[in-house]
Structure 1
Amino acid sequence: MNPLNLPFDSDEMLAGLRPWVECESPTWDAAAVSRMMALAARDLTAIGATVETIPGTKGFGDSIRATFPHPDQGKPGILVSGHLDTVHPIGTLEKLPFRVQDGLAYGPGIMDMKGGNYVFLEAMRQILKTGLQTPLPVTFLFTPDEEVGTPATRGLIEDQARGQRAVLLPEPASPDGGAVIGRYAIARFDLLTQGRPSHAGWALKDGRSAIAAMARKILEVEAMTTDDCTFSVGVIHAGQWVNCVSSECRAEVLSMAKTQADLDNGVAAIEALQGEANGVDFIVTRGVTRPVWEPAPGTRQLYELARKICAEIGFELTAGSAGGGSDGNFTGAMGVPTLDSIGVRGKGLHTLNEHIQIDSLAERAKLAAALMMEIR
């Protein structure tokens, strides 16, 4: 049977996806993410998977690994890699409830990336229900910390990807519906200013404000942005009492670099800003980094297969390199053929307008099923 003829129904898929969207799972709430993992594990088990729960580390939630009956289980195959954490805090459902309107479905994490993960689950469900056998064994790996750079599960992902024939990531599709076959580097930095406290009203001149120093440094850092290497400060923590000159201020920076040389130059530039000035120390600590992923021949071949499948479905699948890192940075940089951003179509990810095109559920399920049936 042609996998494109499997009976995918977007409305039925949306009904199955809704509980996932309504199970809020912000990265920093390990218990909430683990509840989401348990829900996904239940649904995977129901379609015939053997599911292993991998306890969380470093304060993050659990991961789950699902395998399906196959005569070549344990041999190189296909890894479907996705994350079930979101950027939306508990309570977001009050502002962004699950709802359907004008062919769109709204909800926290529905686009990034619960919708895509559920699409692949449904694709495998229909394959198994019809009695088909994928040529290669398929493994699903869902992880809890992608939205903060994958500090706890990078090794798990790389270990699972090593030696596989292909890695598929159901991250949201590009704005034109296209896939991603390469990604720029994403680096994180922690900034710290250390000043001297004093009473802000009685002895202002005796203090050295860490907040004021950080404000000046933020302008310096963001002014280093170019088209090839960007710097953006997204988090600041400082102060507790308005009548105290703050002695400490912390900030977090996200940097995007298109090439390894751009990354190296950017790291050197931000680290060169360190030092003491006017009684305030400025310290830069490098955090997690997603490596540059440049498309290799195996990835291009995987894309060509996907492009032909999409032409049969009825649309053109474009592809290119992109910013906004994913766990594809890791597997692609390892040289494993990797196809990223083949999940649902939508807009507004990471905002209170996050939504998907409902009809893209069936469209992407056809693509997922065909890939799992045709990759060899």
Structure 2
Amino acid sequence: MDPLKLPFDADEMLAGLRPWIECESPTHDAAAVDRMMDLAAYDLAQMAEIERIPGRMGFGGCLRARFPHPKQGEPGILILGHMDTVHPVGTLAKLPFKREGDICYGPGIMDMKGGNYAAVDAVRQLLRAGAETPLPVTVLFTPDEEVGTPSTRELIEAEAARNKYVLVPEPSHQDGGATIGRYAIARFNLVAEGQPSHAGARLSEGRSAIAMMARKLLEIEGMTGDDCTFSVGVVNGGQWVNCVSSLCEGQALSMAKRQEDLDDGVARMLALAGEENGVEFRITRGVTRPVWEPDQPGTMAMFDIAKDIAGDLGFELKGASAGGGSDGNFTGAMGIPTLDGLGVRGNGLHTLTEHIQVDSLPERGKLLAALLMRLT
């Protein structure tokens, strides 16, 4: 049986994917993420043994699916994806599911519901054809990747440790390439605490937390260099315009290609804490993704197989390390052969122009199906 000849159909795949996209599932809305897991569970229940794992820390739950196999329980292949998105409920009004030629728009369609669906369809097509993969296959969908995976990292690492290989259908690179390593990432929580006063009658008596945060924001982003980047993505402060702000909070992100560069960046960030002119500035470290070093032998052996498959599909599959974390950081850092970026082609992820190339759905379905058949 040649998996490249399986009848993947772009229109049928898009029709199956549409309910997933129209079920908005922002990370911090646990009920919304659980509704998305319900849809995926229904689709997978026709093929696999389903397990729902309750959420914790205020996040939604996980979905684990194990497919029938004579070697069930032995180390196999883990397909790892997340169902949470950055788009709040209501985004569909601005970014509806809409196809225009070979482009289809929708919140989370590229990152990463499109890739998840292609992976599910790959298994579905193999089962329909009566094909038996050399190794047992497990799918794990998680609810909190977009905020650094604070509630499910241990679960992911435990599941990965039971398997020989990990496939991550996160979006592909712009050229359709796969990810063979990822940069290290650290998050930080920022707090400035000042002294309130009436902004009109007693301005000089106040100490502005917002002003402190503004100064620190510029200082943080000014530390960006070739080895380590710094950015502040969230700032919230003040309650009344006629009151000098006593509290301002923010969140920052740092990313580096090497773990030692990230560790140095973390030290520089934490050193910014202190008190100036009656305003205290505090920094606490949030969740961290370890560096996944590229060129690991197991990963490269998988990549060579994927590259051969891509050649048979008519395109050159390139491999590169990537910025922007994924749960592949954890499994790759564990030394488990991991191939990431196997999902759909597209652009605009995390924005109101997020879209995919429709013809990449069957392309990635065939690539994943062939990988499942060739990994031993």
TM-score range, shorter chain: over 0.9
* Cα pair 1:34 1:61 within 8 Å, conserved: yes
Structure 2 unaligned blocks of 5 or more? none
Name the SS of the counterpart of 1:368 in structure 2. Answer: helix
Please tell me the residue identity of whatever aligns with 1:3.
P
> Match of 2:197?
198
Q: TM-score, normalised by structure 1?
A: 0.99
Please tell me the residue identity of whatever aligns with 1:212.
A
- Tell me how far 1:119 sits from its aligned partner: 0.2
Cα distance between partner residues in 2 of 1:227 and 1:235? 23
- Tell me how far 1:227 sits from its aligned partner: 1.8
Query: Which whole-Å deviations, capped at 9, do the CAs of 1:309-366 have from their partners, x for residues lacking one?
Result: 1001110000011100000000000000000001000011001111100011110000
Cα distance between partner residues in 1 of 2:223 and 2:73? 48
Q: TM-score, normalised by structure 2?
A: 0.99
Equivalence map 1:61-100=2 (5 Å): 61-100=60-99
Please tell me the residue identity of whatever aligns with 2:224.
T
Please tell me the residue identity of whatever aligns with 1:223.
G
> Match of 2:325?
325
Please tell me the residue identity of whatever aligns with 1:294.
E
Please tell me the residue identity of whatever aligns with 2:147.
V
Name the SS of the counterpart of 2:124 in structure 1. Answer: helix
Please tell me the residue identity of whatever aligns with 2:37.
M
Structure 1 unaligned blocks of 5 or more? none
Q: Percent identity?
A: 68
Name the Cα RMSD after superposition: 0.6
> Match of 2:359?
359
Name the SS of the counterpart of 1:58 in structure 2. Answer: coil
Asked if 1:304 is matched to 2:304, the reply is: yes
Bigger Cα displacement from structure 2, 33-42 vs 260-269: 260-269
> Match of 1:25?
25
Equivalence map 1:47-126=2 (5 Å): 48-126=47-125
Query: Which whole-Å deviations, capped at 9, do the CAs of 1:267-307 have from their partners, x for residues lacking one?
Result: 11111111111011111100000000003110110101100
Query: Which whole-Å deviations, capped at 9, do the CAs of 1:16-67 have from their partners, x for residues lacking one?
Result: 0000000000001000000000100000012x11110000000001100000
> Match of 2:171?
172
> Match of 1:237?
236
> Match of 1:252?
251
Cα distance between partner residues in 1 of 2:42 and 2:101? 31
> Match of 2:280?
281
- Tell me how far 1:228 sits from its aligned partner: 1.6
Query: Which whole-Å deviations, capped at 9, do the CAs of 1:87-113 have from their partners, x for residues lacking one?
Result: 000000000000110211110000000
Query: Which whole-Å deviations, capped at 9, do the CAs of 1:194-249 have from their partners, x for residues lacking one?
Result: 11111111101111000001100111000000122000000011111111111111
Name the SS of the counterpart of 1:230 in structure 2. Answer: strand
Name the SS of the counterpart of 1:147 in structure 2. Answer: helix
* Cα pair 1:73 1:137 within 8 Å, conserved: yes
Cα distance between partner residues in 2 of 1:305 and 1:228? 32
> Match of 1:342?
342
> Match of 1:10?
10
Please tell me the residue identity of whatever aligns with 1:20.
W
Please tell me the residue identity of whatever aligns with 2:73.
G
> Match of 1:270?
269
* Cα pair 1:184 1:325 within 8 Å, conserved: yes
- Tell me how far 1:191 sits from its aligned partner: 0.7
Name the SS of the counterpart of 1:325 in structure 2. Answer: coil
Cα distance between partner residues in 1 of 2:215 and 2:68? 59
- Tell me how far 1:260 sits from its aligned partner: 1.1
Cα distance between partner residues in 1 of 2:162 and 2:343? 23
Name the SS of the counterpart of 2:191 in structure 1. Answer: strand
Cα distance between partner residues in 2 of 1:220 and 1:101? 43
Cα distance between partner residues in 1 of 2:209 and 2:357? 46
Cα distance between partner residues in 2 of 1:234 and 1:170? 26
* Cα pair 1:197 1:244 within 8 Å, conserved: yes
Query: Which whole-Å deviations, capped at 9, do the CAs of 1:163-215 have from their partners, x for residues lacking one?
Result: 41110000000001000000000110011111111111110111100000110
Count of matched residue pairs: 375
Cα distance between partner residues in 2 of 1:352 and 1:163? 38
Runs ≥4 residues deviating over 4 A: none
Cα distance between partner residues in 1 of 2:126 and 2:102? 26
